[in-house]
Structure 1
Amino acid sequence: MTKFTLEKRQLCDIQGRLFELALKNGYDCPAFIKDFMNSQTASALDDTYDRLQWAGEEYILEELDEEVNGLKKEGITYPVEVMYWIGYTYRYWHYYTKEASREIYKTANADTMNECWLGFHTLDVEMAIDNLKEIYRQNCDIV
């Protein structure tokens, strides 16, 4: 397992709580995840240091809502545990592989993450990420 600093683990938690907050605020979960992972807001969190990283999930959600000119309300919802896991795993993934959020989303979109949660949420995060990357590779080989 990769040694993560306390700060990186805290940022994983903040992103997990951000995804939970999106659900609590009534946003369509897949649309929120797509908007977030492809946003400048997520890119700022990918940076080595950006003030947004320590702004808290409420402020980050406001920034994203403004950036995309309004997040989609209502629609498909995922359970709160799934939303937290997706947010946490995506941020961890960035630290684990150094991939940008936008690229991570191309590998494992919201539907994939939701479908894999049941089998993957109890795995070590790095093992879950490796499995998600393998699923993507296998799907690319089929096409």
Structure 2
Amino acid sequence: MRKIDKDGLLLCDMQGKVFELSVTAQDNSSEIFIRRFMNSEVAKQLDNMAVLQSNIQAADILSLIDEEYGKSNYGSVKYTPNELYWIGYLYRYFAYTYDKTSVQVYKIVKPKELRGLFLPYHTMDPSQAIDRILEAKGLANDSVDEEKRQFQIFKRIREKKLR
């Protein structure tokens, strides 16, 4: 697990602002926007931190999403700007600190679930909120670390057999 640093916090804030701006700049529902965003090429640039080498702004990112997927007015349920900022921030914090892609994080926890957790969790430190979410899903830090440990053991055994 990676510690959050200045670059990580910049990415979290940028993604939070993009999600927040989507309320007024996108015609589709918040869940559709989030799904598109988390599976987009821009999200991949956030994953590998390439976006930090550019001067891209939140509105530019929304334009890139529209270019990639086309404009849509599907769905009507819009989350509040505060909910969206928190969801965007939390998704990026999760991806950054756990070294996962946006797609992997999106598959673990869906926007509707995060929206339901907004009121009880939005005042928590993001790492605590993520820990609680993972714990509730049976994917607590211990099980993630245990998977990595078991994979390393498997690799060592396999390497010995190949010698």
Instruction: Identify the TM-score tier after normalising by the shorter chain.
Output: 0.7 to 0.9
Give the TM-score taking structure 1 as reference length: 0.86
- Pairwise mapping of residues 37-76 of structure 1 onto structure 2 (< 5 A)? 37-50=38-51, 54-72=55-73, 75-76=76-77
Distance 1:53 1:3 in 2: 23
Checking the alignment, whether the CA contact within 8 Å between 1:44 and 1:53 is kept in structure 2 is no
1:107 deviates by 0.8
The corresponding residue for 2:129 is 128
Q: How many residues are aligned here? A: 137
- Pairwise mapping of residues 1-143 of structure 1 onto structure 2 (< 5 A)? 3-25=3-25, 26-50=27-51, 54-72=55-73, 75-137=76-138
Distance 1:68 1:41 in 2: 12
1:53 deviates by 6.0
Residue range with higher mean Cα deviation, 12-21 or 24-33: 24-33
**Root mean square deviation, CA, Å:** 2.0
1:40 deviates by 1.8
The corresponding residue for 1:141 is none
1:64 deviates by 0.8
1:130 deviates by 1.2
Report the identity percentage: 32
The corresponding residue for 2:159 is none
Which amino acid counterpart does residue 14 of structure 1 have in structure 2? M
Distance 1:73 1:53 in 2: 31
Q: Which structure has the larger Rg? A: 2
Which amino acid counterpart does residue 93 of structure 2 have in structure 1? Y
For 1:85-108, what per-residue CA distance to the aligned partner results, in whole angstroms no more than 9, with x for missing partners?
Answer: 001111111111001100101111
1:68 deviates by 1.1
Distance 1:40 1:86 in 2: 19
Which amino acid counterpart does residue 11 of structure 1 have in structure 2? L
1:74 deviates by 5.5
Give the TM-score taking structure 2 as reference length: 0.76
Checking the alignment, whether the CA contact within 8 Å between 1:90 and 1:101 is kept in structure 2 is yes
The verdict on how the C-alpha distance between 1:107 and 1:47 changes in structure 2, with shifts beyond 3 A counting, is same
Which amino acid counterpart does residue 30 of structure 1 have in structure 2? E
Which amino acid counterpart does residue 37 of structure 2 have in structure 1? F
Uncovered stretches (5+) of structure 2, i.e. residues with no partner: 140-163
The verdict on how the C-alpha distance between 1:121 and 1:41 changes in structure 2, with shifts beyond 3 A counting, is same
